Structure 1
Amino acid sequence: MKTKKIAALLIGLFSFSIISAQEMPDRKETLKTIVKVNDYFMKKYSDYRTPSYVNKVIRPSNIWTRGVYYEGLMALYSIYPRDDYYKYANDWSEYHEWGFRNGTITRNADDYCASQTYIDLYNICPNPEKIRKAKANIDMLVNTPQVNDWWWIDAIQMGMPVFAKLGRLTGEQKYFDKMWDMYEYTRNVHGENGMYNEKEGLWWRDQDFDPPYKEPNGKNCYWSRGNGWVYAALVRVLDEIPANEQHRTNYINDFLTMSKALKDCQRKDGFWNVSLHDESNFGGKETSGTALFVYGMAWGVRNGLLDKKEYLPILLKAWNAMVKEAVHPNGFLGYVQGTGKEPKDSQPVTYDKVPDFEDFGVGCFLLAGSEVYKLED
């Protein structure tokens, strides 16, 4: 019996030493870092009305890239409610008349991603006009039979939380039901047998990367940020749906399986490669995917779904690496892969390179930092 007690004590001390090896950041320093990154962005893009002009295409400032940024800003506002944050988000929403590129008839999740922020702002200061178009758009999706709109996995994050937020806001089950139908189709049906490889716990970005497509090293192609989008979506949905929602266990199981898969392929320096299973295919530090994984893991630890001893060292190693190696003194965020769909896109990814869109990377980082800040409670 004494031997067993000694063994248990040694195991406990070993687990503590692993966590201690990754120092929990000071709460004030975490806030200082995310505020610095956000202030850099808000100063550079002070005119929220300015459309983007990338690859000779003009896009309004309420597309998905900016929508993700505002998701991060609202997360920051939830822990540090500065008036200028609220104004920056509210003015942007009012400028776009609480609507979307391509209007309320759009089926493209990249368009209605902005609804996540519109609903958050409504919850702070209710006004029916803030969510009128968001509700009209999602009601159209609910009332039509198609379930194959999310054919690329990024769309799961852009669209799925909107259904969850509206379901919670209205109390209507139809939003949760349609959300599951669309998720389940992408997961299990789209392409040959769905975009999710349950055996390996990771997602193909779209059917172009289904087997027999392989990475140069012969393994399946799992794009870091694409998997980050799904991982973040699961967190954002679980944060909204009721404890007794019939598919909550399904979402939790996918979250847990993904968490283990992601833990197993983290780089030694704390980041994740753009290609999760092939470090030879444009390998190197990448911030946006890493931030989304930190966001999910921190949320999972804080909510008791992930074991603290197992996952806290993983997420702290990643967070500390981003703060140390990706955040510039002026708040610019380095090592962000620009837009694309696979490892080779928007390369090279470096410390100094400005991505084609700066907004979504900042949003991912703000989501991660806000969760790490909450974790420190």
Structure 2
Amino acid sequence: MKREKLRLFGLMLLISVLSSACLTNVHQANHKPKASKQEVLQVLQSTNAYFMEKWPDTGKPIYTTRWRPSNIWTRAVYYEGLMALYAIDRDQRYYDYAVDWGTKHNWGMRNGLETRNADDQACGQVYLELYELDKEEERIRAIKKNIDFVMHSGKVDDWTWIDAIQMAMPVFAKLGVMFDDPRYFDYMYKLYSYSKNEEGGGLYNPTDKLWWRDRNFVPPYQEPNGEDCYWSRGNGWVVAALVRVLAVIPENEKNHAVYLQDFKDLMEGVLKAQRKDGFWNVSLHDPTNFGGRETSGTALFAYGMAWGINQGILDAAVYRPALDKAWQAMVDEAVHPSGFLGYVQGTGKEPKDGQPLGFSTVPDFEDYGLGCFLLAGSEFYKLLESGR
């Protein structure tokens, strides 16, 4: 009996040791070391170099189905990313490339001083940043006149699609800070509030903590699986807008708390929709509707997470694993050795647009996806540099 007990004890001990070893091996196999700040910087430099080499002429019009000037929103988003990269990597070529872009377009907008289209105003974000670096009046003259024109009109229903919030809202925020003029803050809140609460009955759903792209996607519209249609990149644009506004307006600005809470809530809604591989689907609540990896929305969500953690707004214990996973997924699955960025959905407004996506699929515009990626990586770099 004693000998049998010893044998049984020995067998249990062996099983325990083997189980422990197996679990350790599985953990080691699944664990990936966190990226270093140098690795992050290198991939940002590589992807940006690919684009700058492909587009040496900053004023060259863009052709897809027709010709478009290169100061449209797609290129403006790229330059937002480039300026974020320049903030962590002071390469003179980046600054010169951005200044040349503004100069080639006479620091103006696609449809002139009286355009109300937020897509036309996106370039102003870059013009204002470049003015802050070198205060040449020509850099902000046109964009300020345009925004002043918009405010003088009293019209507040311009942002009828959520992309517009990112394209134009940070321009108002920067002007308010630069000229110490709260009228810009007040007016952007009216525009933002109209989109959020009134357009189409309100484009924000506080239940799911996500935004419908425009009134056409507000219920009763449904995805094939019966869920609401929340477009990934559209929600990403709102994330970026809130980041870029909160990053510049003073904390005592009267609507600061609203933007801050909206940011926190939106990031909560976004977090719940992340795929197991780190990406987000183009349709946040329906993975069956053109499901699969998508880089631009993923990058914008990663941008928001990195910034939120950096500012102490988002709980790192909750969001850092999601951020690490998202960043590594993009680097491992979307970045080509050449620097080309795959899995970027082309322009559009819903899951079916710009399909199919793939590692080597070239979207109709290559610029904005890279801009989103540069924003995410630059903010992630700051997080790594801080040692957190």
TM range (shorter): over 0.9
3-state SS, counterpart of residue 308 of structure 2? helix
Report the counterpart of residue 326 of structure 1 in structure 2.
334
Report the counterpart of residue 4 of structure 2 in structure 1.
none
Find the aligned partners of 1:367 and 1:327 in 2 and give their Cα distance. Answer: 15
TM-score by length of 2: 0.91
Rg (Cα) greater in structure = 2
Give 1:24 deviation, angstroms. 2.6
Report the counterpart of residue 32 of structure 1 in structure 2.
42
Find the aligned partners of 2:383 and 2:90 in 1 and give their Cα distance. Answer: 18
Find the aligned partners of 1:143 and 1:172 in 2 and give their Cα distance. Answer: 14
Pairing 1:63–2:72 present: yes
Going from structure 1 to structure 2, the CA distance change for 1:303 and 1:22 (only over 3 Å counts) comes to farther
Report the counterpart of residue 7 of structure 1 in structure 2.
none
Give 1:227 deviation, angstroms. 0.2
Report the counterpart of residue 240 of structure 2 in structure 1.
232
User: Which stretch of structure 1 is more off in the superposition, 22-31 or 217-226?
Assistant: 22-31
Kept in 2: contact 1:224–1:272 (CA 8 A): yes
User: Which stretch of structure 1 is more off in the superposition, 23-32 or 167-176?
Assistant: 23-32
Give 1:287 deviation, angstroms. 0.1
Give 1:259 deviation, angstroms. 0.9
Q: 2:320 aligns with which of 294, 312, 324?
A: 312
Matching residue's letter, 1:296 = G
Matching residue's letter, 1:363 = G
Going from structure 1 to structure 2, the CA distance change for 1:363 and 1:195 (only over 3 Å counts) comes to same
Pairing 1:278–2:290 present: no
Report the counterpart of residue 207 of structure 1 in structure 2.
215
Give 1:144 deviation, angstroms. 1.2
Report the counterpart of residue 375 of structure 1 in structure 2.
383
Matching residue's letter, 1:23 = P
Find the aligned partners of 1:334 and 1:251 in 2 and give their Cα distance. Answer: 32
3-state SS, counterpart of residue 113 of structure 2? helix
Report the counterpart of residue 109 of structure 1 in structure 2.
118
Report the counterpart of residue 176 of structure 1 in structure 2.
185
Pairing 1:74–2:107 present: no
Report the counterpart of residue 14 of structure 1 in structure 2.
none
Find the aligned partners of 1:120 and 1:318 in 2 and give their Cα distance. Answer: 28
Find the aligned partners of 1:32 and 1:66 in 2 and give their Cα distance. Answer: 22
Give 1:23 deviation, angstroms. 3.5
Report the counterpart of residue 265 of structure 2 in structure 1.
257
Find the aligned partners of 2:92 and 2:360 in 1 and give their Cα distance. Answer: 31
Could you report, residue by residue, the CA deviation over 1:352-377 in whole angstroms, capped at 9, with x for unpaired residues?
00000000000000000000000012
Consecutive unaligned residues of structure 1, counting only runs of 5 or more, are: 1-16
Going from structure 1 to structure 2, the CA distance change for 1:21 and 1:170 (only over 3 Å counts) comes to farther
Matching residue's letter, 2:123 = A
Find the aligned partners of 1:319 and 1:53 in 2 and give their Cα distance. Answer: 31
- Residue identity over aligned pairs, in percent, reads 58
3-state SS, counterpart of residue 225 of structure 2? coil
Q: 1:266 aligns with which of 263, 269, 274?
A: 274
Pairing 1:194–2:202 present: yes
Matching residue's letter, 1:172 = D
Matching residue's letter, 2:38 = K
Find the aligned partners of 1:372 and 1:331 in 2 and give their Cα distance. Answer: 18
Find the aligned partners of 2:317 and 2:291 in 1 and give their Cα distance. Answer: 28
Give 1:21 deviation, angstroms. 4.8
Report the counterpart of residue 374 of structure 2 in structure 1.
366
Could you report, residue by residue, the CA deviation over 1:34-53 in whole angstroms, capped at 9, with x for unpaired residues?
00000000000111111111
Moved over 2 A (4+): 20-24
Find the aligned partners of 2:312 and 2:32 in 1 and give their Cα distance. Answer: 20
3-state SS, counterpart of residue 104 of structure 1? coil
Pairing 1:126–2:135 present: yes
Kept in 2: contact 1:23–1:316 (CA 8 A): no
Consecutive unaligned residues of structure 2, counting only runs of 5 or more, are: 1-26
Q: 1:248 aligns with which of 249, 256, 277?
A: 256
3-state SS, counterpart of residue 199 of structure 2? coil
Kept in 2: contact 1:271–1:318 (CA 8 A): yes
Equivalences, count: 357
Report the counterpart of residue 357 of structure 1 in structure 2.
365
Pairing 1:339–2:347 present: yes
Matching residue's letter, 2:373 = F
Give 1:142 deviation, angstroms. 1.3
Matching residue's letter, 2:44 = I
Could you report, residue by residue, the CA deviation over 1:333-362 in whole angstroms, capped at 9, with x for unpaired residues?
000000000000010010000000000000
Matching residue's letter, 2:251 = A
TM-score by length of 1: 0.94
Find the aligned partners of 1:234 and 1:139 in 2 and give their Cα distance. Answer: 22
Find the aligned partners of 1:254 and 1:22 in 2 and give their Cα distance. Answer: 33
Give 1:324 deviation, angstroms. 0.7
Find the aligned partners of 1:168 and 1:336 in 2 and give their Cα distance. Answer: 34
Find the aligned partners of 2:37 and 2:182 in 1 and give their Cα distance. Answer: 38
